[in-house]
Chain A
Amino acid sequence: MSTLSNLSMTRRQFLGTAAAGAGVFVLGISLPGCAKVDEQGEGVINAFIGIDENGVVTFQNPFIEMGQGTYTSIPAIMAEELDADMAMLKVVQAPHGPEYRIMFNNTTRFTGGSFSVRSSYMTMRKAGATARAMLIKAAADTWRVPPGECTTEPGVVIHRESGKKLTYGELAPLAAKLNIPADVPLKDHASFRLIGKPVKRTDNRVKATGEAEFGIDIKVDGLLYAAVKQSPVFGGSVQSYDQDAVLKMPGVVAVEEIPNGVAVIADQYWRAKKALEQLPVTFDEGDNADFSSKSYLEKLKAALNESGVRVENVGDADKALSEAAKTIEAVYHAPFLAHQTMEPMNCTALVTKDHCKVWAPNQGADFVAKVAAEITGLKLDTIEVITPFLGGGFGRRFIMDYTAQAVTLAKKHPGRPIKVIWTREEDTQHDHYRPMTAAKYRAGFDAQGNPLAIQITTAGEGPSGRLNPEFLEDPAIDESIFEGGPHQPYGIPNKRAELVNVPVKPLPIGYWRSVGNSQNAFFKESFIDEMSHAVSADPVEFRRNLLTEQPRFKKVLDTAAGMANWKSEVWQDENGIKHAMGVALHESFGSIVAQVAEVALDDGDIRVVRVWCAVDCGFAVNPAIVKMQMESGIVFGLSAAWSEEITLEKGRVMQSNFHDYPILRPDQMPDVEVEIINSGEPLGGIGEPGTPPIAPAVCNALFKLTGQRVRSLPLSQYTF
């Protein structure tokens, strides 16, 4: 449980407010066990809300903004209870430190896993409500009336009887002197004016004028730029380089080694990049120069015949399959994928004797601080992390490789800020990839065509085991590689699933939007579709019949099918082009999503015409953002399904830029319709659940059109 405390009596500077001194009312939420004491002997606690004398409410957001809307949804939850005017709200990023670890019983803080809103909803509401109660108390004291006679309108406290008003700005210095009340009541849902409403994005203006500052845009006096070249083979290292060949080039300041490569530092980025291109450098390729994605795929497929670790066991699948009147089997696989954030990896760092400042696009300020402290040897509290807007994250910016480079270089040049910028080529070839995965699915039916059993074997290596083994309850069971396959809602009496871990080291793997669901939803929902066709059932009807005990899933499926006016059969449009619909249903990150895709096939060219998407995320805190995230997730998943694939030969990535790693273009964009179901169930995530269903929905439609079952992605490798 979080407790609230008033920070006004500390001298702690509240970031983002003009003056931390008089007149700033700072409300913090202190986390038991985390409060520290500073040199003055004052409690140093985190602070989420500051109100200055002009009534500007500064909100220190523990979550970063990478497009998913956290700079709107999170402060709006707080502002709802505070009764603040959204127009008077200024959102800034909270610094690193234990004080802001508000997730999972105050143990951590990051932005990902579609966790931001659902992990902080009550904390943010309580913070806002407590601040409001204190502002009311300050006004009531001034007017010498009971607080119960006062109410608020956005930004003002009002005395009901007399009509007297005081603004939050006027009251802030008074409220700052008050004690924190305990157990302030929260609003009831009926009186919400922000929560559940399509509140406008707080960042829409700066992002339309070009003022929004991303990491790559950071301006610091005396800034130097670095271009980097990393070992093309993973695990390789620099053998030799001839810095004299480039040191005399215009603007070049230095050539330095970084952990797995070399960097040129210059006064302009272009000069650094040009010099780097001309720098003679040889790499020791290490032990992995024979790695190829083709041979890894063969390994995965072979592993599907081994028996693995049991991850699900209901009934007796073996027995049911051996007694089944009919069985089907299919093997699927999905490729390595890159994140391709629109803003390439970059980081700026400045190191002095006793201080280190890092401007890093990141999905967790604490990760940045940790890396910077390790490299500089400085204490964590002398590390300052500035988190600008992120030009996309999708899971890539958990990994601090680019940050380590900037800090390493800055440490070698104390007092000089250095900005590392990766080219798109470096970014593509040194990502932490969505792991390649293979799976074998088997199902058995009785004589009437009712499913009796399903058996799944998944092979691959998950990112959690590699990056965060501490997350795993059982080190042998890394859910991040098979999640979304087993544990389905479908009422099939016998289920068995196994995992065969096939390490893919040295290849760096990571979290890619929706993680294991991104590939396993494709396997699972394609196979469910294969099952329906095997017994000549309509794919929607077949799923419905298996969901009699899962009303929530059934409703989502029915909603999507209803929106689409579901058609079982292929049809022709007025130009004689064939169209068909495909469906997929998938739960991830606590939200259930169904999508129906209408696909047309014109002389072998695929066109995804329209996608109908129904989502049950419990309750949509900001329905506009929920819709946008569904659309965004659909584009991300569709892009990958259509044309994305990272391959490796001789230990190196074969793709380098958008010409050989194409992402979805505007002319490929389907129309999308989204419907939200507010079921009242616990809050689900929103940033990722839109991604998993689209690949199977499209492939299931393609099967109807072509009779060809797509069992591996991307689609660009097929001719239809």
Chain B
Amino acid sequence: MTTLMINGKQYELDAEDDMPLLWAIRDIAGLTGTKFGCGIGMCGACSIHLDGELVRSCMIPFGAAKDKAITTIEGLATEEGLHPLQQAWIDKDVSQCGYCQPGQIMAAAALLRENPNPSEDEIRTKMTNYCRCGTYLQIFEAVKQAAQFHGEQS
């Protein structure tokens, strides 16, 4: 048994150390907001935060996350409500099929934490997750809206 800390909650997991964190989160902890897209670190559908850092969970062996704080899409909202990015995603109707969107939001959350006021160029180059439905322009717009909200809050 290994203990993982996901979204502030402890999970006891029975898995081999080489199992990618993605599958531990999805199939054992049952948090299926984090998606499987490619398994080779290219698409970003599996994006999560590990000790606050954006990672692609299909590339991290489960054993390497033992003593770290894991945040998934399910842990992004707080008691006060949705994360400003989630709200922006809703306001802008970003999602089409929606499969890539949890990963997109996690990537955007990391970007805004690093730089609460990113330029258009930064958004376009730092948001690297794939979207097969082609929602990229809406994603850029939603990140901008959430950044603005951030600005007004501070």
Contact = CB atoms under 8 A, between A and B. Distances in A.
Interface of A: 65-69, 200-201, 203-214, 216-217, 219, 225, 250, 268-271, 274, 340-344, 389-394, 421, 423-424, 624, 628, 631-636, 639, 657-659, 663-667, 669, 671-672
A219 B35 contact: no
Given A269-B23, A632-B135, A216 B36 contact: yes
Interface residues of B, number: 58
Interface of B, helix, strand, loop or mixed by DSSP: loop
Contacts of A217: 26, 32
Which 6 A-B pairs give the minimum distances between C-beta atoms? A210-B33, A635-B134, A391-B99, A207-B98, A67-B96, A67-B97
Contacts of A214: 32, 35, 99
Contacts of B89: 204, 207-208
B97 A389 contact: yes
Nearest to B22: A270
Contact of B33 (A204, A209, A225): A209
B123 to A, nearest CB: 9
B13 to A, nearest CB: 10
A206 B93 CA distance: 11
Interface in B96-153: 96-102, 105, 124-125, 127-140
Given A65-B97, A207-B101, A225-B27, 19 more contacts: A68-B96, A210-B33, A210-B102, A214-B35, A268-B28, A270-B15, A341-B132, A342-B43, A394-B132, A631-B134, A633-B134, A635-B134, A639-B134, A658-B130, A664-B130, A666-B124, A666-B139, A669-B124, A669-B137
A638 B113 CA distance: 32
B4 interface: no
30 contacts: A68-B96, A204-B93, A207-B89, A208-B82, A208-B86, A208-B94, A209-B73, A209-B74, A209-B77, A217-B26, A268-B15, A270-B16, A270-B19, A270-B20, A342-B37, A343-B97, A344-B37, A423-B39, A624-B93, A628-B135, A632-B133, A633-B134, A635-B134, A636-B132, A636-B134, A657-B39, A664-B130, A666-B127, A666-B139, A667-B124
Contacts of B77: 209
B95 interface: yes
B48 to A, nearest CB: 11
B72 interface: yes
Contacts of A666: 124, 127-131, 136, 139-140
Contacts of B37: 342-344, 424
Contact of B125 (A200, A389, A636, A667): A667
Contact of B30 (A201, A219, A389, A657): A219
A718 to B, nearest CB: 23
B15 A392 contact: no
A200 B128 CA distance: 27
Contacts of B65: none
A342 B135 CA distance: 13
Nearest to A671: B137
A67 B140 CA distance: 18
A635 B93 CA distance: 17
Contacts of A657: 38-40, 42
B6 interface: no
B126 to A, nearest CB: 9
A268 B28 CA distance: 8
Given A219-B32, A344-B36, A663 B130 contact: yes
Contact of B95 (A204, A250, A341): A204
A268 B13 CA distance: 12
Contact of A628 (B33, B43, B82, B93): B93
Contacts of B39: 423-424, 657
Contact of B35 (A66, A216, A250, A663): A216
B96 to A, nearest CB: 3
Contacts of B33: 209-211
Contacts of B64: none
B99 A343 contact: yes
Contact of B96 (A269, A628, A639): A628
B59 to A, nearest CB: 13
A208 B45 CA distance: 13
A518 to B, nearest CB: 15
Contacts of A659: 40, 42
A633 B38 CA distance: 22
Nearest to B106: A210
Q: Considering residues A274, A664, A669, which has the most beta carbons from chain B within 10 angstroms of its beta carbon?
A: A669
Contact of A200 (B43, B93, B130): B93
Nearest to A340: B132
Contacts of A225: 27
A658 B97 contact: no
B136 A269 contact: no
A684 to B, nearest CB: 19
A214 B42 CA distance: 21
Contacts of A68: 96
B148 to A, nearest CB: 17
Contact of B99 (A268, A274, A342): A342
Nearest to A341: B132
A268 B125 CA distance: 36
A389 B75 CA distance: 22
Q: Considering residues A210, A269, A344, A632, which has the most beta carbons from chain B within 10 angstroms of its beta carbon?
A: A210
A192 B91 CA distance: 23
Contacts of A669: 124, 134, 136-137
Given A204-B89, A342-B97, A270 B132 contact: no
Contact of B130 (A67, A205, A342, A624): A342
Contacts of A633: 134
B93 A201 contact: yes
Contacts of A342: 35, 37, 43, 45, 97, 99-100, 130-133
Contacts of A216: 32, 35-36
B66 to A, nearest CB: 17
Contacts of A271: 16, 19
B85 to A, nearest CB: 8
B132 A392 contact: yes
Q: Considering residues A200, A203, A421, A632, which has the most beta carbons from chain B within 10 angstroms of its beta carbon?
A: A632
Contacts of A210: 31-34, 72-74, 102
A269 B36 CA distance: 12
Contacts of B134: 631-636, 639, 664, 669
Contact of B128 (A391, A631, A664, A667): A667
Q: Considering residues A212, A216, A274, A390, which has the most beta carbons from chain B within 10 angstroms of its beta carbon?
A: A212
Given A424-B37, A635-B134, A391 B97 contact: yes
B76 to A, nearest CB: 8
Contacts of A66: 97
A506 B82 CA distance: 50
B54 to A, nearest CB: 15
Contacts of A341: 97, 99, 132
A390 B86 CA distance: 20
A208 B88 CA distance: 9
Given A342-B100, A659-B42, A207 B139 contact: no
A209 B87 CA distance: 9
A373 B90 CA distance: 40
Contacts of A340: 132
A343 B30 CA distance: 17
Nearest to A211: B33
A635 B34 CA distance: 24
A213 B35 CA distance: 11
B36 A632 contact: no
Contact of B98 (A203, A270, A665): A203
Contacts of B128: 665-667
